[in-house]
Amino acid sequence: MTALPAPASRPHRALRPIPAAEGAVAAEGAVQAAHGAGAGGCGVARPLAVDRRGAVRLARLSWGLPTGSGELRVRGAVPADLPAVARMHGRCSADTLLQRYLRGGRPPALPALDELLRSPLVVVVQTPGGEVVAMAGGSRPAAAPGRAPEPTWVTQLGLVVEDGWQRLGIGRRLAGHLAASAQLLGSKELVADVVSQGLPLRRVLDGIGPTRATQHPSGWRIRTRLDVSVVGRLGSVDGVLAG
């Protein structure tokens, strides 16, 4: 009997920088769609020529985030960010960590942070000196005991801003960017788990779309409906639309 050839090994797929030209083309399409969804488009959204791959590129594209303390840089996270992200969590108060992770105010273990940084819809915020001061991500909602699984068109928002950088609009811009990224990828709803529905994140999500909250044993799940109008909140095109 003739032996079958061994299957070829699959190449390791590492995250790579986004070519500037590709990002610019995708961003232009998002700008056109956002304009079409506004009053100038007579209330009818223009078709968005961005496929799933292009949407992920847009989500990870680097963009500037001005604050009263100088301009920060937002970009897609990579595994090499782990030391800076771990330091950021070490500088966060227990209250900030509780609002984000609902784990008694404790940060995730390093392996969990490493896995998080490998997700395509995770972005970090850097100072000019290279320190990470905030991060945000979108993922499939985690299954919870006693709760039915969320539909595939729901994206869960995770957001943490270091204490010293709060109240500068960073969380609002990151939430808007993740909402736009999720919408481009086909999501109809953004959810976030919080310990209290009166926290700032609720006000941030109220500004993105119609929001409601449901209570569960560990807190509240906030739900925000997404439509094409949120595309204008994408970080790489928000400055263009404002200009």
Smallest CA-to-CA distance from 155 within 224, 76, 228 is with 224
Question: Does residue 197 belong to any structural domain of this protein?
Answer: yes
Phi, then psi, of 119 in degrees rounded to 5: -80, 140
Please count the structural domains in the chain.
1
What pLDDT does residue 241 have?
Answer: 42
Question: Does residue 173 belong to any structural domain of this protein?
Answer: yes
Which DSSP string do the residues of 64-82 spell out, in sequence order?
Answer: EEEETTEEEEEEE--GGGH
The predicted model scores a pTM of 0.78
CA distance 183 to 218: 27
Question: Does residue 80 belong to any structural domain of this protein?
Answer: yes
CA distance 243 to 235: 13
Question: Does residue 11 belong to any structural domain of this protein?
Answer: no
CA distance 102 to 96: 10
Phi, then psi, of 25 in degrees rounded to 5: -65, -45
What pLDDT does residue 147 have?
Answer: 73
Q: What is the CATH number of the domain that holds 215?
A: 3.40.630.30
What pLDDT does residue 46 have?
Answer: 37
Phi, then psi, of 54 in degrees rounded to 5: -65, -35
Going residue by residue through the chain, which has 243 residues, state the pLDDT in tens, using 9 for 90 and above: 445 444 444 444 344 444 444 444 444 554 444 444 444 443 333 335 468 899 999 999 999 999 987 899 999 999 999 999 999 999 999 999 988 888 778 899 999 999 999 999 999 999 999 999 999 999 998 776 667 888 999 999 999 999 999 999 999 999 999 999 999 999 999 999 888 766 788 889 999 999 998 887 778 889 999 988 899 899 977 644 444
Question: Does residue 116 belong to any structural domain of this protein?
Answer: yes
Question: Does residue 5 belong to any structural domain of this protein?
Answer: no
CA distance 12 to 70: 38
Question: Does residue 43 belong to any structural domain of this protein?
Answer: no
Question: Does residue 158 belong to any structural domain of this protein?
Answer: yes
Which DSSP string do the residues of the chain spell out, in sequence order?
Answer: -PPPPPPPPPPP----PPPHHHHHHHHHHHHHHHHHHSGGGTT-PPP----HHHHHHHHH--EEEEETTEEEEEEE--GGGHHHHHHHHHHS-HHHHHHHH-SSS-PPPHHHHHHHHTSTTEEEEE-TTS-EEEEEEEEPPPP-TTSPPPPTTEEEEEEEE-GGG-SSSHHHHHHHHHHHHHHHTT--EEEEEES-TTSHHHHHHHTTS-EEEEEETTEEEEEEE--GGGGGG-HHHHHHHH-
What pLDDT does residue 105 have?
Answer: 83
CB 184 within 8 A of CB 59: yes
Distances (CA, A) of 73 to 25, 114, 147, 168, 216: 20, 21, 37, 14, 36
Range of the domain at 169: 58-143+151-242
